[in-house]
Amino acid sequence: MNDSNGGYGDLDFRIGMRRHTWPGKLIAVSGIDASGKTTLIRCIASEARRRSVVVRRFKFPSRKLKETALFREFDRDRQGSLDRGFIDPFGLTLVLMGDRLLTLHNQVKSHLQAGHTVIIDRYLFTTLVEFLLTPYSAAERRIVWDCAGHFPRPDCYFFADVPVDVAADRLRDRGGAEAESVDLEGMSMRAKLFREFAALNDGVSIRTDIGLAYSMGAVRERLTAIGALPSQTCDTGRVTSARESQ
């Protein structure tokens, strides 16, 4: 599941992403399945728009990649496609990262240049977590980490944190394929890795199982601190001007 050391050893979870210089704000949200990412993103977007902030939302990977035979086969039976050798995990990781970089360059960049707030679900860290759960060599890990350094560093990185048993119950409640996909061990390992990335990349852990009011309180505080949300104390004239400028 990782390199020959049999563990993560001295693996550095810090990712040398570059800070962007555009006036907009880049917000990344990650977490395990059923961790509450979608609800959190909707609430962030709603709060920003309520304060006259222009918001754009993206979910990685791109729709074009999801429509390819390669991704459809992998998504249909992830572990099976790896076990059969149909998918090379290192190659797939580079494809997923390249797809994200293309979307950042072709679509996201213009919004950030225009001063918009961009919220991205499954930014970079999701791909890195999945990579670390597959067999890889030290050389492959270095290449992936070097590639990750080409990503813009988010102005804010939220990790939707929730107890694994709560996320599992949510998946079971959804029924169908999602209910059948429940894997407590795998979910626990992914959650642990997300926490490692959040801790060492200025991430903010947001509990999504103890009330939306609590979650959004922490989100507002962080977004206001980085200038992604205007202060609620701003005068009416400034809010009106912002609305008219859209």
pLDDT grade, residue 7 (50/70/90)?
low
Contact 176, 45 (CB under 8 A): no
* 195/179 Cα distance (integer angstroms): 24
Choices 3.40.50.300, 3.40.50.2000, 3.40.710.10, 3.40.718.10: CATH for 19-230: 3.40.50.300
Sequence-separated contacts (24+) of 187-190 with Cβ below 8 Å: 187/32, 187/33, 188/164, 189/133, 190/32, 190/129, 190/133
Q: What is the pLDDT of residues 27-75, one digit of tens each?
A: 999 999 999 999 999 999 999 999 999 999 999 999 999 999 888 888 7
Can you say whether residue 173 is alpha, beta or left, with left for phi > 0 and alpha for psi between -120 and 50 degrees? alpha
Pairing type for strands 25-30 and 117-121 reads parallel
Q: Which residues contact 142 (CB under 8 A, 6 or more apart)?
A: none
Cut 0.85: pTM above it: yes
Tell me the three state secondary structure of residue 185.
helix
For 163-186, write each residue's pLDDT tens digit: 999 999 999 999 988 888 889 999
**Interatomic CA distance for residues 20 and 151, integer angstroms:** 9
Q: CA-to-CA distance for 233 and 66, rounded, in angstroms?
A: 43
Q: Of 126, 133, 128, 123, which is closest to residue 143 (Cα–Cα)? A: 128
pLDDT at 241 over 60: no
Distance between CA atoms of residues 134 and 82, nearest Å = 9
Q: What's the confidence (pLDDT) of residue 9?
A: 63
Phi and psi of 156, rounded to 5°?
-150, 135
- pLDDT tier, 235 (very low <50, low <70, confident <90, very high otherwise): very low
Question: What are the tens digits of pLDDT across the range 76-134?
Answer: 777 777 777 778 999 999 999 999 999 999 999 999 999 999 999 999 999 999 999 99
Q: Which residues contact 103 (CB under 8 A, 6 or more apart)?
A: 58, 60, 61, 62
Q: Report the percentage of the chain scoring pLDDT > 70.
A: 90
Domain extents for the chain? 19-230
- Under 8 Å between Cβ of 29 and 123: yes
Q: How far is CA 106 from the centre of its chain?
A: 19
pLDDT interval class at 5 (50, 70, 90): very low
Question: Can you read off the two tokens belonging to residue 35?
Answer: 């961790």
Instruction: Please give the Cα distance from 164 to 121 (Å, whole number).
Output: 19
Q: Decide if pLDDT at 234 tops 70.
A: no
For 56, the 3-state DSSP assignment is strand
Given a contact cutoff of 8 angstroms between Cβ atoms, the answer to whether 157 and 204 are in contact is yes
Q: What is the rounded CA–CA span in Å between residue 50 and residue 48?
A: 5
